[in-house]
Amino acid sequence: MTETENAQDTGRRRLLKAALPLAVAAAALDAAPSRAASPGPAAKAPAPRGRDRIDVHCHLIPDFYRQSLAEHHVTEIGGVPVPVWSPALAVDFMNRYGIEAQVVSVSEPGVTYLDSAADRIAMAQRLNTYMSRELVHGSTYRQGRFGGFAVLPLGRQVVAKDVGDAVVEVRRAVRELGLDGVGLFSSYGGTYLGDPVFEPLLRELDDLRAMVFIHPVTPLACPDLGLPPFLYEFTFDTTRALVNMLYKGVYERYSGIRWLAAHAGGTLPYISYRASLLTLTPALAQQLGADRAADSSPHFRGLFYDTALSPAPQAMKSVRELAGTEHILFATDWPFSGPLFPGVGDPAPQLDETFGSGERLAVERGNALAQFPALAARIGARTG
């Protein structure tokens, strides 16, 4: 390829990345039922809703973190520009879409972009303290509007010291700062969560009976199709993490951990039977060095799945078939998904194609409150 062709190709890719959020939004609006259209004879107008939704997958990007990312030349996440965020914008978003509270987390790259273990610890501590003091237990106008998943000081290449530092920060974030759970990535530099290096951290999370949110990252050496990795690679890496933990016996050994899988579990619900085939052939599993595992269905059914970027029936009906309505939690992935929400009202009308009104209320509120009792208590105290 000539230099001119290279430059043209680079320009096309930049243009695609810049235009993609608007294109995604336009496609979503075209696909969504028109709110102005009269309901057909088989349609039923949704019951009016107040501000009652609980959003379990959304992100925070405070100014000090954004500045640190920029200083290290991180300007894109998942292949799209880092979006604007502030507590005021988050509250405005919630008010426009009937969301009572968001459980916030830190998206890719977390603190993995920092080379020094000391720098990773400092940034993780700063982010977790910010979540606790400014959002979860923050000022009056924010009280009851936020929960938080702790970020841990893990690097691109996970070593035992990093895991030890993560254990210390888990204790501080959950026990002292009162955060609602812990955020982990699907992989760290190609090391997945079933790797033995994570055992001390998994033991601590099990002791805490923690809710652990698994968010995907762009995997190492993925093929470049000229599209942002969040479109498909994120879903594949989530699936790798969940299958890896099955065959490494994580679900069996650490049954106290509650796992929340982002984006409807990636592709896992659709391939859960196929991904479990080695559990039906223990001799082959042993040959391949996989740990003995029981039938995978109970393990995969026991996971929790969010609706972020996945409210359409193609995804939700698969998740519902695998795990049941009670294991599905509402999520928006805001602010990264901001272009998908141009107005006000129902943020996920496609959920009506899978769930009845009572089931939607469970998915959008009741299931989350059951899994986040401290958040439920804060909301109860605020609303009286």
Helices within 333-372 (DSSP H only): 357-361, 367-371
For 160, counting Cβ atoms within 10 Å of its Cβ (0-12 exposed, 13-18 middle, 19+ buried), the class is exposed
How much is the pTM? 0.83
CA distance 338 to 354: 23
Q: What is the pLDDT of residue 281?
A: 63
Residue 39's CB is within 10 A of a number of other CB atoms, namely 10
Give the angle subtended at the CA of 193 by the CAs of 149 and 209, to the nearest 5°. 50
Q: Dump pLDDT digits (tens) for 327-358.
A: 999 999 999 999 999 888 999 999 999 999 99
How many C-beta atoms lie closer than 10 Å to residue 328's C-beta? 28
How far apart (Å, rounded) are the C-alpha atoms in residues 341 and 196? Answer: 41
pLDDT value of position 291: 55
pLDDT in tens, 39-91: 333 333 344 466 899 999 999 999 999 999 999 999 998 888 999 999 999 99
- Alpha-carbon gap, residue 71 to 96, rounded angstroms: 33
Q: What pLDDT tens digit does each residue of the chain (384 aa) get?
A: 444 444 444 443 443 444 444 344 333 333 333 333 323 333 333 444 668 999 999 999 999 999 999 999 999 988 889 999 999 999 999 999 999 999 999 999 999 999 999 999 999 999 999 999 999 998 777 889 999 999 999 999 999 999 999 999 999 999 999 999 999 999 999 999 999 999 999 999 999 999 999 999 888 877 787 877 776 777 889 999 999 999 899 999 999 999 999 999 998 988 787 777 766 566 655 665 655 544 446 889 999 999 999 999 999 999 999 999 999 999 999 999 999 998 889 999 999 999 999 999 999 999 999 999 999 999 883 433
Residue 112 and residue 218: Cα distance in Å, rounded?
12
Q: What's the per-residue H, E or C state across 232-254?
A: CHHHHHHHHHHHHHHHCCHHHHC
Phi and psi at 100, nearest 5°, equal -80, -40
The 10 Å CB-count burial string (b at 16+, else e) for 97-132 is bbbbbbbbbbbbbbbbbbeebebbbebbbbbbebbb
In the chain, pLDDT over 90 holds for what percent of residues? 66
pLDDT in tens, 362-382: 999 999 999 999 999 998 834
